[in-house]
Amino acid sequence: MKPVPHATSLRRAPVQRRSAERLTRILDACADLLDEVGYDDLSTRAVALRAGVPIGSVYRFFGNKRQMADALAQRNLERFTERVTERLKESTEGGWRTAMDAVLDEYLAMKRTAPGFSLVDFGNQIPVGSRHAEPNHRVADRLTDLLSGYLDREPDDDLRRTFLIAVETADTLVHLAFRVAPDGDEKIIEEAREMLRAYLARVLD
């Protein structure tokens, strides 16, 4: 069974396997419908119908669609972390360059393939342009905790600031790349990669 997202938006965390599987179906349906109809036309009733669960099951976990989108964003972050971790386990090389490529490549892969990700990603686009929850801080903190051991660095404030700047830069440029081309403009992505390498080389080498 996949791990349940540790989302603060959950009214009640599932305890039994059946309940956890139902939550997974609800979030999967939410993601699919985000791609199909967008956030404005998303409804808890439509999600319940797509997930094949009673509407009461949706309200057991979420008070509204915003909370559902927040939980989906948190699940995206958990899955992103898992993907980066697995990528680094498979790598035969160490260092921040390998880590940076893993982080950027897995983010791009989710951007291209994960349902609902283009609207929600890690939480900073619903409503469009909103940064109320400061998700990039959460991503930077997660990467600091994940990569500090891999990089043999203390997870101190300096490293957190470094990753926050890198995450904010990557976030802005990747969104630009996907506005220019549906699958991400490769030239913009490569420019983003070079900018990140130059910045991180100055700070981490």
- Say what percent of the chain tops pLDDT 70: 88
Q: In angstroms, rounded to a whole number, what is the distance separating the alpha carbons of residues 184 and 202?
A: 27
Q: Which residues of 29-56 are buried (b: 16+ CB within 10 A; e: fewer)?
A: bbbebbeeeebeebebebbbebbebeee
pLDDT at residue 127, as a whole number: 54
At 10 the pLDDT is 65
Tokens of 136: 């990039």
Q: How far apart are CA 124 and CA 74, in angstroms?
A: 11
| Least confident window among 8-22, 49-63, 113-127, 174-188 | 8-22
CB 35 within 8 A of CB 57: no
Average pLDDT score over residue span 180-194: 97
pLDDT (0 to 100) of residue 19: 83
- Closest C-alpha to 7, from 76, 80, 55: 76
Residue 10, helix vs strand vs coil: coil
**pLDDT beyond 60 at 1:** no
Report the CATH superfamily, name and number, of domain 73-204.
Tetracycline Repressor, domain 2 (1.10.357.10)
